[in-house]
Structure 1
Amino acid sequence: MDKPVIILGAKGIAHPALEIFNSNQVIVYGFLDEDQSLHGTEINEVSVLGSTEDEGFLKLIGKKTEAFVAVDDVKYRKFLVEMLLEVRKVQPVNAIHGRAYVSTDAFIGHGNFINANVAIGAGAKVGSHCIFHTGAVIDHKAEIGDFVQIGAGSIVNAEAKIEEGAFIGSGVTIVGGVTIGKGARVGAGSVVIATVGKNETVFGNPAAKIK
């Protein structure tokens, strides 16, 4: 990546995103965040420059810088991604840690956060704007939709499918071939052995629906 990066968001995954770009010798130009109390502060000597909708900084994106959206909340993450597409005609770049493993045979979309020790296997398909926390494993031929978040140490076994906007907590095991529906939530430490429906929340070993 030749251009420096502006990170949209200065909380949550913003700090590890900075570390990811540092691990790849990519310069971070600065952070933008809607929280005015953060403006003028620094994260590891990189400044929070202003708001995520500050035209003075946004106009740099696509010409002089790239952009990465470091926001955990799915709705706000979608809003910022759509804003970048509409206003700057750009897609956010991927943030892939230098110690992550991504198979040369895997497909990866745009704007994904892939932290240290994540493994993405052969033939896996990963959409865009996903968050993979430390040590998550996406086994071969698994499919991950857009805006999915997968917690630290979770394992998505071979040929499992996780649909758009699903949230998988830390330390979850998803058995091979299982589907996790759109917008579903899986509690930390769960073992999922059967399909989880759209917008359902499950927890436990084996995971059961929470009403």
Structure 2
Amino acid sequence: MGLFADLRDSISTVTAKLFAGSEEETKRIGIYGPPNAGKTTLANRIARDWTGDAVGPESHVPHETRRARRKENVEIERNGSTVSIDIVDTPGVTTKVDYEDFLEHDMDADDAKRRSREATEGVAEAMHWLREDVDGVIYVLDSTEDPFTQVNTMLIGIIESQDLPVLILANKTDLDDSNIQRIRNAFPQHETIPLSALEGSNMDEVYDKIASKFG
């Protein structure tokens, strides 16, 4: 009886660990940053590399992403282990959405106002996800733009106050006026990883960091 009891206990222990692990494995990772930083391009790059599917449409029009979009069970394999994450592509966060910005992209006034309203609601939704529903953050910045803004400082502060693990990515390194050091100087407390989500450059390092940070 002792042998069978030991075997039964061993099976129970292994089963418990398997089920416990399955509950903890998948992390919700929010992709945050200002409008047009390349968040959806990055989300699509990750999703296509590991699942073959895109998360959503990409566009040069600001606030094209006006609702959070989620790609579940993205399994990233690094160094013989697998990290499972849900990608949450969030709308770009800004202090103000002006409908006149949309008029510059060949939209009529009614369409511009509708998009402005939806984008404003999307910012609120992104903040809700940040405060309630994500386990970590990938913060994407356009390396051709000045990163030291009120919104970026506020969001990084919120992420830090909630003790969320965060990766800062300096995107658009394929452009001539990219300045990675400017982002490093703005947020020296966090490591900055350069990449071009559009061209896929340096994605191996990005995936290594995702695995180590969120695994």
Between structures 1 and 2, the one with greater strand share:
1
Q: TM-score, normalised by structure 2?
A: 0.35
Q: Which has the larger radius of gyration?
A: 2
Between structures 1 and 2, the one with greater helix share:
2
Q: TM-score, normalised by structure 1?
A: 0.35
